[in-house]
Structure 1
Amino acid sequence: MPYATLAELKLRYGADRMSDLTDRDGDGIGDDPQIAQALADASDEIDGYLAARYQLPLPTVPSLLVRIACDIAVYRLLSLRRMGDIEDARRRYEDARRLLESLAKGTVALGLPASLPDAAQPQPSLAAAAVGAARTFSRSGTEGY
């Protein structure tokens, strides 16, 4: 599920900035498919974190995830350019990644409405189940004691 659209990305960062980042042939027109791919990659990265805690797809897309998706997409687009352009994008990407880690741990909430029916509420996925070491003591291992 995409967490941000091309229109949302252009609204947040500006259409001119998106054209500057993706204009490979110098005609002043951005490469919308390249932007769409960066947004898809950002959504995949977000899903990787959220799947540890939430059942996907989410019933709604919180605005927090729209911002995170946009920041990750711009970082991905900037990573294709020369190194000097990436410093601010790297900081935003690292902030977005730390926020996703906090969402996965449950220390930050998505703020999904509490009025969703129980069936639509996000549920922890099986990926969130903890797997520990094998038991030291068991019935078969303590027979005769």
Structure 2
Amino acid sequence: MTFASVDDLRLRYGDQELLLLADRDRDGVIDADVVEAHLEDADAEIISELAGTVTIDPASPPLNLKRLACQIARYRLYGANPPEAPRKDYEDTLKFLRRVRAGEANLDGGAAAPIEIPPSPRAAAVTPGSRIFNRGL
């Protein structure tokens, strides 16, 4: 069982795009075996990126994996010359997986550690009701 299914790809990208990418015999039907092969490759890529750092329970994988697997599979279905959007999604997916591997992000969508943003030394202070400028009236 893969992190995402053919139906997941259909919901995200539509039948028209999948027909363009995965109707190899040109019969007007998405070739599920082609899509499933790319979904399996996407899973392998995800597992490879996270090897040794994250344990994934196959019975209940994090929901983010479905989206990430869809993005990778879509990119791979395009072959040698993917359009900008699938290429960018793929690159963003790899960056995210590498952040997970580095402990900077979690697969469940939360940050790995609380992030504290210190106040800027150049922040402007505003006092309600006071004006620095007037409209010359």
Give the TM-score taking structure 1 as reference length: 0.68
User: Please, which of 88, 98, 114 is the counterpart of residue 91 of structure 1?
Assistant: 88
Tell me what 1:41 maps to: 41
SS in 2 for 1:72: helix
Aligned residues: 109
Separation in structure 2 between the aligned mates of residue 93 and residue 102 of structure 1, nearest angstrom: 14
Letter in 1 for 2:92: D
Q: What secondary structure, in the 3-state scheme, does the structure 1 residue paired with 2:24 have? A: coil
- Name the residue aligned to 1:3: 3
Query: Which amino acid in 2 is paired with 1:27?
Result: D
Amino acid at match of 2:98: E
The letter of the residue matching 1:110 is: L
Tell whether the 8 Å contact from 1:43 to 1:69 is kept in structure 2 after alignment: yes
1:23 equivalent to 2:23? Answer yes
CA contact (8 A) 1:20 1:28 kept: no
Shift of 1:70: 0.1
Larger Rg: 1 or 2? 2
Structure 1: tracts of 5 or more residues without a match = 113-145
In the alignment, the residues of structure 2 paired with residue 79 and residue 65 of structure 1 have an alpha-carbon distance, to the nearest angstrom, of 22
Aligned partners of 1:16 and 1:57: how far apart in 2?
33
TM-score by length of 2: 0.71
Unmatched 5+ residue regions in structure 2? 110-137
Identical-residue share of aligned pairs (%): 36
